[in-house]
Structure 1
Amino acid sequence: MVSQVDSTPSPLVAPHLVSVLGRIGTMEVCLAQTEDEIESAQQLRFKVFFDELGAKGSATLEQRDADRFDPVCDHLLVYDTSIAGPKHKQIVGTYRLLRSERAFASGGFYSASEYSIESLVSAKPDLRFLELGRSCVLPEYRSKRTVELLWQGIWTYCRHHSIGVMFGCASFQGTVPAAHALQLSFLQHNFRATPDWDVRALPDRYQAMDLVPAEAINPRVAMFAMPPLIKGYLRLGAMIGDGAVIDHDFGTTDVLIILPVSRIAERYVSHYAAEAKRFA
């Protein structure tokens, strides 16, 4: 859901985490360090979520997608440094990062409006949680390279902050779950969270995902039709929470991604760890 812009100053980058977290060619992934950069990320989100995908809500006259969580989040940004002009005009992709300690100090997680996140967090007090959200990239930059850069940045950030669990909502476009019956059922039958990690959608928002019998699903077809972001999470080892949720403001059907760092496939850990050593 989208709310009015919060003018509370955003936190600065942690002093011991360098701003550049990854680089491929002229592309860099960094953490936002100025208000101009955060506002540019909000403008990019508006272009993607509102102009391109038709989100509705209380977007501001400044044409920025901004809510009360932005001031307490870190903002991961992908820059194309070949674009002429000031740095904040080079932003082509963004991801929003909310650590559990900041969430506790500011009223909770964004996902808590859809899922019973607090029950999982309270059950694992020895782990640090990181909520991932507001992922978007300009159409002309939606490539494997951009995704690779974003994950370089996320992994470096996770290592710096000793993150144990990543989670967040990921979306199917449209508000009719039956339109995604194959994909939702495939997730339900094959990627549901184990009991010790399970999180259920709030009772008044719960939408069943078990819409097609397992024996009627062609896994290759289901995976091919999966949104790229969800497909990427699954390849890393992510699990899916209990139930989907309709987000009418954004015009999406959401599922909850749960990704304990301990479940990330070793080949990805080795790859991203090597990159993190270069920038952390």
Structure 2
Amino acid sequence: MVYDPTQVKTSQGAAQPDVIRVAPRGFTNMLRPSNWGTATANALLPFRTPAPADAGGLPTILGRIGSLEVRLARTRKEIKQAQRLRFRVFYEEMSALPNATSMLSRRDIDEYDAICDHLLVLDYDVPKKAFRTPRPQVVGTYRLLRQDVADRHWGFYTAGEFDIQPLIDTNPGKRFLELGRSCVLKPYRNKRTVELLWHGIWTYVLHHRIDVMLGCASLEGTNPDQMALQLSFLHHFARAPENWRAHALAGRGVAMDRLPKEAVDPKAALHALPPLVKGYLRLGAFIGEGAVIDHQFGTTDVLVVLPVEAINPRYIDHFGPAANRHAA
């Protein structure tokens, strides 16, 4: 869900930014048109794409670095480009199993696309073709779902794995934002792209006066015993305080405290964690109670909760209190 913009390594062979990989829910039901509501059908059918959300007063361009630009999707065509990028990363590069609709359309699609904002990083330095106007390429994306929008529809996607309602109820008046479906094209997994994604998110957070970000982060593999060190470290050293804690859904969760605290080597655990999770911890995020095994994506998911008030001040200084570091 979140990368550490100052820690991403770009040298050959170094660790690359991780991606959020969230499995579409209701895999079997999605294959039955009789079970599609209007919004779901519009989002799933290959020839139907949700309209881009109203920017709501946000600047047209949220930031620039060189030939790269970050902004919200403006057209249906741009949302399709983001879905194709997600398909390429999740299903072709990674090991996720697409449903029939995604396989036919070559796009990663689910019903939430219709109600989310789609943050894009575009590269304008594209090869010129004869008699054709060059079009920028979508090279990175994030899907953003505000609480007020989720409440008007069918809730947060994260609620399919974690019981987040008590967390919301414990923090009345707080505005929550769910981050998900994040990925970056492989040649662009570097500091510039990641910085722009987070510059865009920070601008969005400030504009909509968001108080809390949340979402799932994945560890590779479905055997929690093989990641006992990482899970135990997150449980003992990064678990959310009670007022920010949410639990895995009953029947889906597995225990994270697989080793006693004294048996955990923090340095070794941090080294073994995905860059995605390490970036979150550096930002000041907390980890929920219990993990969820996602067999479709071959991952074990943990809940990440990041109150804006808990963000490490150096990151706020890095992007600017008014998100003006990379302003266009």
What TM-score range do you get, normalising by the shorter chain? over 0.9
1:124 positional shift: 1.9
Is 145-154 or 41-50 further displaced after alignment? 145-154
Q: Any conservation in 2 of the 1:206–1:244 contact (CA below 8 Å)?
A: yes
Matched, 1:78 2:121: yes
Is 121-130 or 32-41 further displaced after alignment? 121-130
Is 126-135 or 221-230 further displaced after alignment? 221-230
Give 3-state SS (helix, strand or coil) of 1:276's partner: coil
Change (3 A) 1:184 1:171: same
Matched, 1:119 2:166: yes
1:10 positional shift: 3.0
Q: 1:45 is matched with which residue?
A: 86
1:29-178 to 2 correspondences below 5 Å: 29-58=70-99, 59-84=102-127, 90-178=137-225
1:209 positional shift: 0.7
Question: 1: CA distance between counterparts of 2:229 and 2:161?
Answer: 22
Is 262-271 or 5-14 further displaced after alignment? 5-14
Change (3 A) 1:11 1:26: closer
Q: Deviations over 1:49-89 (max 9, x none)?
A: 11111101413401111100011001111112212367865
Gaps of 5+ in 2: 1-22, 31-43
TM-score by length of 1: 0.94
Question: 2: CA distance between counterparts of 1:84 and 1:97?
Answer: 30
Question: 1: CA distance between counterparts of 2:135 and 2:155?
Answer: 29
Give 3-state SS (helix, strand or coil) of 1:256's partner: strand
Question: 1: CA distance between counterparts of 2:290 and 2:51?
Answer: 33
Question: 2: CA distance between counterparts of 1:149 and 1:126?
Answer: 29
Q: 2:4 is matched with which residue?
A: none
Q: 2:58 aligned to 10, 14, 17, which one? A: 17
Question: 2: CA distance between counterparts of 1:54 and 1:91?
Answer: 22
1:22 positional shift: 1.8
Q: Any conservation in 1 of the 2:83–2:109 contact (CA below 8 Å)?
A: yes
Matched, 1:219 2:228: no
Q: 1:185 is matched with which residue?
A: 232
Matched, 1:247 2:290: no
Q: Any conservation in 2 of the 1:40–1:88 contact (CA below 8 Å)?
A: no
Give 3-state SS (helix, strand or coil) of 2:62's partner: strand
Letter in 2 for 1:36: K
Question: 2: CA distance between counterparts of 1:88 and 1:107?
Answer: 35
Give 3-state SS (helix, strand or coil) of 1:127's partner: coil
Question: 1: CA distance between counterparts of 2:320 and 2:141?
Answer: 21
Change (3 A) 1:25 1:42: same
Matched, 1:257 2:300: no
Gaps of 5+ in 1: none
Instruction: Find the structure with the greater CA-based Rg.
Output: 2
Is 126-135 or 206-215 further displaced after alignment? 206-215
Letter in 2 for 1:125: P
1:179 positional shift: 2.1
Change (3 A) 1:87 1:219: farther
Is 238-247 or 174-183 further displaced after alignment? 174-183
Question: 2: CA distance between counterparts of 1:89 and 1:20?
Answer: 14
Q: Any conservation in 1 of the 2:287–2:302 contact (CA below 8 Å)?
A: yes
Identity of aligned residues (%): 55
Aligned length, in residue pairs = 280
Q: Deviations over 1:248-273 (max 9, x none)?
A: 22221100000000000111112223
Q: Any conservation in 2 of the 1:131–1:167 contact (CA below 8 Å)?
A: yes
Q: Any conservation in 2 of the 1:152–1:275 contact (CA below 8 Å)?
A: no
Letter in 2 for 1:235: R
Q: Any conservation in 1 of the 2:72–2:119 contact (CA below 8 Å)?
A: yes
Q: Any conservation in 1 of the 2:211–2:307 contact (CA below 8 Å)?
A: yes
Q: Any conservation in 2 of the 1:56–1:251 contact (CA below 8 Å)?
A: no
Q: 1:27 aligned to 48, 63, 68, which one? A: 68
Q: Any conservation in 2 of the 1:170–1:257 contact (CA below 8 Å)?
A: yes
Q: Any conservation in 2 of the 1:13–1:31 contact (CA below 8 Å)?
A: no
